[in-house]
Amino acid sequence: MNIKSTAQDWADRCRAWLRDAHLPLWAKYGVDRAGWGFHERLDAATLAPTGPDQRRSMVCARQLYLWSAASRAFGLAEHRALAERAYQTLVERFPDRENGGWVFSLKSDGSLLDGRKDFYAHAFILFALGHYAPIGAQGTEALMLARVTWGLLQKKLMRPQGWLAAEASSHWHIGSDRLVQNPHMHLFEALLTLAEVDPTGGYDRGAQHLITLFETRLFDGTLGEFFDADGRASGAEGQILEPGHHFEWAWLLRDAARVLGEPRLVPLADRLTHWAESTGTDTTHGGTYDQISRTGDILQPDKRIWPQSEAVKTYATAYAAAPSAETLAPLLARLSFLFDYYLLPDGRWHEHLRADLTPIAPYLPASTPYHIAFALLEALKALEA
């Protein structure tokens, strides 16, 4: 195999699908040009808006990431304009001006639907602000908002046990001290992004704290999802493992090794990758399962698109760190699987497949282009480097 030629061919394929098919489709159908913001979900066949009457701050943040990243990658004015639209939607519609922070969701008429303070949503807002700041007209304001939001999360959600509460009421009342892995992972993602664009913001200290949490609470050879208020993986929820999050943490730890100068994190990333590949992957049909138990039983044999995207990111960073035929092969295998079974030529995708790779979901969520674009941009960067 001619490594350089093969890598470039795949880079060209990733770029063409993302820039020339997926982003134009989402710009045409995903933007609510007659109203405000972005549609939450499209019908997979007709591309008409569908689903409940809601607009979530998390989805707006993911759209802000999408168009900011596209603007930086391709330099197109239309992408920059949509990034500005997403930023203005976020800062004008979703702040809780009475209690601070950001509301969870609104109705399409702009009225409040859910005023909860959701940790996961706030993490994505931080992440999106970090990606918008270098390319946006209001970049300085975005960095200020990120600092305020990060300070508020630490003040309002940090628990004595060393982790953040998964959610609070609109007035920041916390009902449960249980530990939930997923929002901490996305906070880690956000803090690494912000540490690079705002080096004096103290984000590196927050990222180091999350590494400690990962090593002492979340990871014991496998990565748990739900823990009780004492940090124990108890009950049925405590048995749940998600291979996609193993891949995602592996990518993040490799990125943290670069951003924070922590090479000791790479072996942890390799352990996560090995488990996700050896235990969390379907050896018959291919692809990463949704959920596995701590004993290795398959809890959910179906396969959403996002775990497949996270596998691409993981193998892209591994290839970028040590380019060779051996590191290129798993990246190309995962890209081939993504293109063969999930990504459609016109820019649409299959959101969820059964174990045998037949489609389940008849809709396209606005939260998913974040996963797809992130994966293909990471692959593109690695393949062209």
- Domain range list for the chain: 49-177
pLDDT tens profile 120-141:
999 999 999 999 999 999 999 9
pLDDT tens profile 181-239:
999 999 999 999 999 999 999 999 999 999 999 999 999 999 999 999 999 999 999 99
Query: pLDDT-based confidence at 3, cuts 50/70/90?
Result: confident
Percentage of the chain with pLDDT > 70? Answer: 100
Q: Which residues contact 151 (CB under 8 A, 6 or more apart)?
A: none
Average pLDDT, the chain: 97
pLDDT at 168 over 80: yes
pLDDT tens profile 85-128:
999 999 999 999 999 999 999 999 999 999 999 999 999 999 99
pLDDT of residue 102: 99
- Domain covering 49-177 assigned CATH 3.30.300.90 in the classification: no
On the 0-12 / 13-18 / 19+ scale of CB atoms within 10 A, 279 is middle
pLDDT tens profile 257-282:
999 999 999 999 999 999 999 999 99
DSSP state string for 53-120 = S-EEHHHHHHHHHHHHHHHHHH--HHHHHHHHHHHHHHHHHSB-TTTSSB-SEE-TTS-EEE--EEHH
pLDDT of residue 252: 98
pLDDT at 2 over 90: no
Cα separation, 242 vs 78, whole angstroms: 36
Q: Please answer whether residues 241 and 292 qualify as being in contact, where contact means their C-beta atoms are separated by less than 8 angstroms.
A: yes
pLDDT at 166 over 90: yes
pLDDT tens profile 39-67:
999 999 999 999 999 999 999 999 999 99
pLDDT at 294 over 90: yes
DSSP state string for 122-159 = HHHHHHHHHHHTTTSTTHHHHHHHHHHHHHHHHHHHB-
